[in-house]
């Protein structure tokens, strides 16, 4: 009985932590997108197809600096998912103002709600993502192994209101490290110029005209084409034919994810993926 009570208490603590993380992100989005906390959601019936006993990965658009925040808040409000957000600014010491603000918010919400991907310092003192296979292996254990769901952007931020030309490879890599990942595409649609963390004043001025809404797509999966043995070989030496095979698989899977996201967006926001989405 004591063990069961301790387990229940732990679950309640996790639930409270999940609520705090989701609401802080929602409030942060509300600052530059009025109505973010109550954004209407389409496609909620697709959530009923998710099997929480299998790995779940929500892959979102990154057309603005609030897409992922809105997605996390709305998904928690709808289903109370225990979510972990893949994030490159989780563990490093920030140098610029926007990254310092993000780091402070992560401290408030709890850094266990955010999974750090590989990073290194890029130009102008900003962190940029780099590929580290070990990050994905740990993610499999720390997120899916703890029955949590992952939230990750499907591409790099664009801020021009259109899907990026190139797909992100992080979500695709997850499908090769973990078996049977359920992918749920999520698109956040805002009107007007995209909110930008590096133009906070201008974004706040435009907040009343954003009219945010969210669209959830159908659950799908992709085949695992890189074996665990091959991943082990890649870890020992990330070169040669095996590397080319992995990059090809990731680009193919990333492209499929982008096409699924494009289907959820208005035609003018699909970018180069426009002729592959629904009209």
Q: The tokens 């982008």 sit on which residue?
A: 258
Q: Write out the H or E segment, with its range, that includes residue 265.
A: none
H helix count then E strand count, the chain? 8, 9
SS3 37: helix
CA 278, chain centre distance (Å): 23
* Interval 92-133: pLDDT, tens: 455 555 556 666 666 655 566 778 776 666 666 665 666 778
* Interval 150-204: pLDDT, tens: 999 999 888 788 999 999 889 999 999 999 999 999 999 998 887 776 777 777 7
Most confident residue range from 90-99, 128-137, 221-230: 221-230
pLDDT beyond 90 at 56 = yes
Instruction: Return the domain boundaries, the chain.
Output: 2-276
The helix, strand and coil proportions of the chain, stated in percent and rounded to the nearest 5, come to 55, 15, 35
Pair 247, 133: CB distance under 8 Å: no
Structurally, what CATH architecture does the domain formed by 2-276 represent? 3-Layer(aba) Sandwich (3.40)
pLDDT beyond 50 at 279 = no
Quick count: other Cβ atoms within 10 Å of Cβ 132? 16
pLDDT of residue 100: 61
Pair 103, 89: CB distance under 8 Å: yes
Q: Residue 21: which residues within 8 A CB-CB, separation 6 or more? A: 72, 76, 83, 109, 110, 113
pLDDT beyond 80 at 8 = no
| Average pLDDT over every residue of 8-19 | 47
Using CA atoms of 33, 165, 169, 118 in order, give the dihedral in degrees to the nearest 10: -60
pLDDT beyond 50 at 2 = no
């Amino acid at each position: 009985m004591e063990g069961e009570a301790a387990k229940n208490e732990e679950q309640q603590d996790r639930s409270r932590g999940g609520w705090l993380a989701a609401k802080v992100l929602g409030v942060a989005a509300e600052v530059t997108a009025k109505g973010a906390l109550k954004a209407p959601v389409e496609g909620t019936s697709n959530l009923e197809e998710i099997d929480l006993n299998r790995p779940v990965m929500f892959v979102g658009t990154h057309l603005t600096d609030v897409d992922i925040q809105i997605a996390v808040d709305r998904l928690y409000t709808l289903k109370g998912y225990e979510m972990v957000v893949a994030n490159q600014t989780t563990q490093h010491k920030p140098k610029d103002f926007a990254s310092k603000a993000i780091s402070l918010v992560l401290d408030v919400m709890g850094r266990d709600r955010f999974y750090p991907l590989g990073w290194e310092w890029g130009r102008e003192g900003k962190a940029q993502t780099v590929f580290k296979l070990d990050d994905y292996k740990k993610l499999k254990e720390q997120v899916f192994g703890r029955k949590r769901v992952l939230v990750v952007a499907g591409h790099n931020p664009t801020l021009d209101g259109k899907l990026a030309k190139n797909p992100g490879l992080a979500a695709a890599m997850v499908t090769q490290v973990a078996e049977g990942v359920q992918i749920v595409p999520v698109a956040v649609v805002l009107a007007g110029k995209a909110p930008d963390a590096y133009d906070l004043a201008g974004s706040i001025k435009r907040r009343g005209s954003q009219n945010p809404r969210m669209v959830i797509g159908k659950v799908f999966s992709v085949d695992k084409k890189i074996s665990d043995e091959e991943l082990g070989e890649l870890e020992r030496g990330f070169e040669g034919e095996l590397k080319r095979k992995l990059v090809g698989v990731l680009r193919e899977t990333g492209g499929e994810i982008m096409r699924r996201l494009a289907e959820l967006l208005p035609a003018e926001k699909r970018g180069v993926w426009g002729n592959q989405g629904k009209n």
